């Protein structure tokens, strides 16, 4: 019997899922699939990873839901190309449906997958799901890639209609008539964390519900106060793994708070930029910023990582990150600015550290924001702007409530003196970058 596969990647949900809806409407019974990608797992820094634990739990939840609906969910561990090649030989697969992913690794992988499937006579169909506008959907009037967020935002909002945010009917179609049942022997066991060589790591992740209405309504007033527990929406992990639909989230933001809508549009913006400029995952977008002579002092980097710089807001942020896998945007900006300007360390070191630690780690957003802070990106803060971590503290945490939560010894002799003086550090960075830009 001919079937089709729906390959879940960054969309671990059944409701409002573009590719899943298309597969279920295709007329062929669907077998949902998840592949634990060995090429990605091999690079995880630890054998106990909270993100993998989260993915595992979500995949198991999908598998249960598929069984309850009368179908079979397949999960495999390995290299996607090899797994898919084996599956199309094992089953009579007519098509593989999946949602687009815009990262450089993913686009290369999908090109290779498309070729292999085509060679086996299997259609490979991709859908836009994790963003509203992607690739060339929004261009400047002269047809170039937009690099000014304000102009991109204006075009975005002008183009956005209710139709773009209308949910796909995948949940309604997720019924036995549209699903395919495979015997347990043929389906094989689903991988466990242990079978893949990993252990569980529990870390708090907010639920996959939409943020509470009052959080959304107050967002513009509370977002820059890190001491507040509900000052921001905390949806980034869900958006990363697709346990929440971006259409649903945007629909709410559009109705209740334009500031929040704009922040979510930054996510589409950075994904669009990375798709156009995949080289920026690993190098400065601005060629004039590629030869900046960063100091890259390893002891100072370690002090930053461990929250021992003597700057309370920086240290609080890094300790929160280390303990929880999260830190609020405003503090991300402070710690990133401090690393690239005050310590004058390559933004890629910080980007990598965040990638290892953040539960919501997402290549496009991480690289885009790091390059923004370093002044190296397609869209950037000016390279000569160096924010004072002390003024930042006075602005966002004047009573030091946030700082004291993470750095209890602040103000006592146990707390280190500042690792570098602000004015000296600012001049050192600005002069070195200026000189590098002249010779670049």
Interacting residue with ligand FAD among 117, 179, 358, 386 (CB under 6 A): 358
User: What is the distance between the alpha carbons of residues 112 and 402, in angstroms, rounded to a whole number?
Assistant: 47
Q: 20-29: b or e for each residue (b if 16 or more CB lie within 10 Å)?
A: bbbbbebebb
CB 323, min distance to ligand FAD, A: 16
User: What is the distance between the alpha carbons of residues 214 and 192, in angstroms, rounded to a whole number?
Assistant: 39
Stretch that binds ligand FAD, among 21-29, 184-192, 264-272, 423-431 (CB under 6 A): 264-272
| HSE value, Cβ hemisphere, 13 Å, CA-based, for 108 | 6
Interacting residue with ligand FAD among 236, 380, 388, 392 (CB under 6 A): 236
Closest to ligand FAD by CB, 294 vs 370, is 370
User: What is the distance between the alpha carbons of residues 201 and 49, in angstroms, rounded to a whole number?
Assistant: 5
CB 38, min distance to ligand FAD, A: 22
Closest to ligand FAD by CB, 198 vs 241, is 241
Stretch that binds ligand FAD, among 45-53, 84-92, 164-172, 229-237 (CB under 6 A): 229-237
Which residue has tokens 């921001």? 232
- Other C-beta atoms closer than 10 Å to the C-beta of 401 total 12
Residue 380 interacting with ligand FAD (CB under 6 A) = no
The answer to whether the beta carbons of residues 225 and 313 sit under 8 Å apart is no
Please list every residue from 184 through 223 that binds ligand FAD, using CB under 6 A: 223
Closest to ligand FAD by CB, 232 vs 280, is 232
Interacting residue with ligand FAD among 354, 383, 387, 402 (CB under 6 A): 354
Stretch that binds ligand FAD, among 39-47, 90-98, 353-361, 426-434 (CB under 6 A): 353-361
Q: Select from 298, 282, 357, 325 the least CA-distant residue to 44.
A: 357
CB 174, min distance to ligand FAD, A: 26
Closest to ligand FAD by CB, 355 vs 420, is 355
Residue 303 interacting with ligand FAD (CB under 6 A) = no
User: What is the distance between the alpha carbons of residues 95 and 174, in angstroms, rounded to a whole number?
Assistant: 18
The answer to whether the beta carbons of residues 260 and 215 sit under 8 Å apart is no
User: What is the distance between the alpha carbons of residues 93 and 402, in angstroms, rounded to a whole number?
Assistant: 54
Interacting residue with ligand FAD among 273, 345, 373, 425 (CB under 6 A): 373
Q: Select from 98, 145, 127 the least CA-distant residue to 272.
A: 145
Residue 245 interacting with ligand FAD (CB under 6 A) = no
Residue 239 interacting with ligand FAD (CB under 6 A) = yes
Torsion from C-alpha of 108, 126, 370, 355, nearest 10 degrees: -70
Residue 263 interacting with ligand FAD (CB under 6 A) = yes
Residue 360 interacting with ligand FAD (CB under 6 A) = yes
Residue 422 interacting with ligand FAD (CB under 6 A) = no
Encoded one letter per residue, x for contact with ligand FAD by CB under 6 A and - for no contact, window 307-336 reads ---------------------xx--xx--x
Residue 247 interacting with ligand FAD (CB under 6 A) = no
Closest to ligand FAD by CB, 84 vs 331, is 331
Rg (the chain; Cα; Å): 23
Distances (CA, A) of 31 to 13, 84, 91, 345: 14, 13, 10, 48
Q: Select from 58, 63, 24, 8 the least CA-distant residue to 169.
A: 24
Residues that bind ligand FAD in the complex, under the rule CB under 6 A = 223, 232-236, 239-240, 263-264, 266-267, 270, 328-329, 332-333, 336, 354, 358, 360-362, 365-366, 369-370, 373
């Amino acid at each position: 019997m001919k079937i089709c596969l729906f390959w879940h990647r960054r969309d671990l949900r059944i409701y409002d899922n573009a590719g899943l809806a298309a597969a279920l409407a295709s007329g062929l019974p669907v077998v949902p699939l998840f592949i634990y990608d060995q090429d990605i797992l091999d690079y995880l820094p630890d054998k106990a990873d909270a993100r993998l634990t989260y993915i595992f739990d979500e995949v198991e939840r999908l598998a249960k839901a598929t069984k309850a609906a009368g179908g079979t969910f397949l999960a495999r561990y390995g290299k996607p190309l090899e797994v898919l090649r084996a599956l199309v030989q094992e089953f009579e697969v007519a098509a593989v449906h999946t949602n687009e992913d815009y990262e450089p690794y993913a686009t290369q992988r999908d090109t290779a997958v498309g070729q292999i499937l085509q060679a086996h006579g299997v259609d490979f169909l991709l859908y836009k799901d994790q963003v509203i506008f992607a690739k060339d959907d929004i261009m400047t009037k002269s047809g170039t890639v937009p690099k000014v967020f304000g102009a991109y935002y204006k075009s975005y909002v002008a183009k956005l209609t209710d139709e773009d945010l209308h949910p796909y009917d995948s949940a309604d179609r997720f019924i036995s008539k549209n699903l395919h049942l495979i015997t347990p022997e043929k389906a094989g066991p689903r991988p466990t964390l242990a079978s893949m060589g990993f252990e569980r790591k529990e870390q708090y992740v907010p639920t996959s519900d939409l943020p509470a209405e009052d959080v959304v309504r107050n967002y513009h007033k509370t977002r820059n106060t890190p001491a507040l527990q509900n000052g921001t929406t905390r949806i980034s992990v869900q958006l990363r793994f697709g346990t929440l639909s971006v259409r649903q989230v945007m629909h709410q933001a559009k109705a209740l708070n334009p500031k929040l809508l704009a922040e979510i549009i930054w996510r589409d913006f950075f994904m669009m930029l990375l798709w156009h400029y995949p080289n920026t995952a690993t190098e400065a977008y601005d060629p004039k910023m590629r030869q900046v002579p960063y100091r890259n002092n390893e002891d100072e980097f370690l002090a930053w990582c461990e929250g021992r710089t003597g700057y309370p807001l920086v240290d609080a942020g890094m300790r929160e990150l280390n303990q929880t896998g999260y830190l609020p945007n405003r503090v991300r900006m402070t710690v990133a600015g401090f690393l690239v300007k005050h310590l004058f360390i390559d933004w890629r070191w910080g980007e990598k550290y965040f990638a290892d630690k953040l539960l919501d780690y997402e290549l496009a957003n991480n690289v885009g924001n790091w390059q923004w802070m370093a002044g190296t990106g397609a869209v950037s803060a000016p390279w000569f702007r160096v924010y004072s971590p002390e003024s930042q503290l006075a602005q966002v945490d004047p009573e030091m409530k946030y700082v004291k939560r993470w750095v209890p010894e602040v103000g006592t002799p146990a707390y280190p003196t500042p690792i570098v003086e602000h004015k000296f550090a600012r001049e050192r960075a600005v002069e070195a970058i200026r000189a590098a830009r002249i010779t670049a």
